[in-house]
Structure 1
């Protein structure tokens, strides 16, 4: 009997996400996400897959700023429809807002993809510690 060797599956890059500890009081920023690009359709599935299960199914995502490419009205992610919106309000230009009906809203600082690793680390730590 011969055994066929399966080639290894391609590994996904690690999700660059840092969340603030859970608290009973709301906070302005719930953590930070450092995507590899501004291609929302490529980046969003990995982000949603890496979120805590307690957050539930994210049904709505709002990105702030004009830097994001391709923000259609909705997209299918893991066989679930997610509404996508773009906001150009100046109040939070570098954030992404995630909504789950009946569970809550989470705002994440978006660290620009071209940020150096050292600077991104500092920004993500500050966001997770509530210093943004």
Structure 2
């Protein structure tokens, strides 16, 4: 039995619209009474997140997240959406500005302001995410440029290993140099 579960972002489906004999600029004309399949070439990629099971042995991190870019403020809304069922509404996120640069003080997600707090003393490749009920998740952040094998290994290690983020990432083969 695994000590973690992988969380993925749900796939989006195009909004239903009434069929028109003239067609539609997104999907083209109606052929023989039926619409062609919608263009799904821009499907969102799955969220690369693993959260430790509640029954798992204690370790430093509650899980791992592997963003697709180093633009943390852009990546966070997707992560927050996935964590909301577990944490409730997210109130604040702590990050290390030496790793991620300075971010705006707040970001809006689904109409709610979330405070971003930069702490140079925070483990460099980690996020401290606090919900409205003061429940906290501490996530190891895998560098976005990690290859597939290294990234997956680091996500699993985040759920089972103790130690600083740079040590866990180095043991998995990930570079922590910017």
State the TM bucket, normalised to the shorter chain: 0.7 to 0.9
What are the equivalent positions in structure 2 for 1:25-104 lying under 5 Å apart?
A: 27-51=59-83, 53-89=85-121, 92-104=123-135
Shift, 1:23, TM fit: 3.9
Q: How far, CA to CA, are the matches of 1:122 and 1:65 in structure 2?
A: 25
Instruction: List per-residue Cα deviations over 1:51-98 (Å, max 9, x = no partner).
Output: 251310011001124232451111111111000011111x51110010
Pair 82,116 (structure 1): closer, same or farther in 2 beyond 3 Å = same
What is aligned with 1:2? 21
Number of positions where the alignment pairs a residue of Structure 1 with one of Structure 2: 131
Q: TM-score, normalised by structure 1?
A: 0.85
Structure 2 residue aligned with 1:108, among 120, 130, 139? Answer: 139
More strand by share: 1
In the alignment, is the contact (CA less than 8 A) between 1:17 and 1:32 conserved in 2? yes
Q: How far, CA to CA, are the matches of 1:52 and 1:77 in structure 2?
A: 11
Q: How far, CA to CA, are the matches of 1:95 and 1:57 in structure 2?
A: 20
Shift, 1:28, TM fit: 2.3
Question: Higher relative contact order by CA 8 Å / sep ≥ 6: 1 or 2?
Answer: 1
Based on CA coordinates, which of the two structures has the bigger radius of gyration? 2
Structure 2: gaps spanning 5 or more residues? 1-19, 28-37, 164-178
